[in-house]
Amino acid sequence: MRDDEYTRRVVDELHLQPESPRFFDDLQLRLARGERDAVRRWRRTAIAAVAVALVATAVAGVAVATPTAAANTVDVTVACPNLLKGGVGVFSVFASPTGNPPIESGKIKPPPPGFRPVDGLTVETGDALYVLRLTSIVAGYQLDRRQCVPNRTKLKLGPNGLPKHVTLQVGDNDYGERCADVPKVVMRLRIENDAYGAPVRTRLLIVRAKTNKPLIYVDWSRQRVTAWDSPSCDFTQ
């Protein structure tokens, strides 16, 4: 008897229960949750082994601000079109309190060659491109000026009616949220830096560009992060 005929006969003799009507819905939900948890576990890694030189980043079109003199504040408002994922505009925000920077000989101690400190606050578009990155472990911040251009929309920093999502302390899991079907956003970013040029506190408000409807507000600091977001934003989307 041929192997394929024998296999079919064995399968035919098995008495298998039909799958539940919700089987595929449950499977899809579990896969979505697994993907979300995997992304968050990856982003909670203390140090990512990614060789990213600031000079190379600047040449690629990302504005790298590295204030090193007195304490100062950066306050910018920009408009950013979102890259498409599955045919719709998507962006994600991640935040985690990253503590105080290591100081050595009156300067922030740089990470070892080839390593990059864990991000404290990021905005990513299309699940593919970071438009904002900052951390308290190094001076300055990175804002992609190719993707985001100055905008004159007046935005009041604050939750603006958004429901509170979470408050995190150092050592807690990070905050992450994803908003889909958003073609373009306007972001107001206010960063307070210390004398070393490293962020101490950052407030970020993201609204839908077409209606100015608030989507995400994050109040980030070295020891604590509090986030508010719209119910329309869901990491499983």
Q: Is the pLDDT of residue 222 over 60?
A: yes
Domain spans in the chain, listed from the N-terminal domain onward: 21-229
Looking at per-residue pLDDT, the higher value among 219 and 16 belongs to: 219
Label residues 136-175 b or e (16+ Cβ within 10 Å = b): bbbbbbbbbeebbeebeeebeeebeebeebbebeeeeebb
Residue 223 pLDDT > 90, yes or no?
yes
Lowest-pLDDT range of 19-33, 191-205, 213-227: 19-33
Tell whether the model's pLDDT for residue 26 goes beyond 90. no
If one compares 128 and 105, the residue with the highest pLDDT of the two is 128
Count CA atoms within 13 Å of residue 87 on its CB side: 0
Which range has the top average pLDDT, 32-41, 62-71, 104-113, 185-194? 185-194
pLDDT-wise least confident of 34-38, 90-94, 106-110, 133-137: 34-38
Q: What is the pTM of this model?
A: 0.71
Of 67-76, 139-148, 179-188, the least confident: 67-76
Instruction: Over range 192-196, report the average pLDDT.
Output: 93
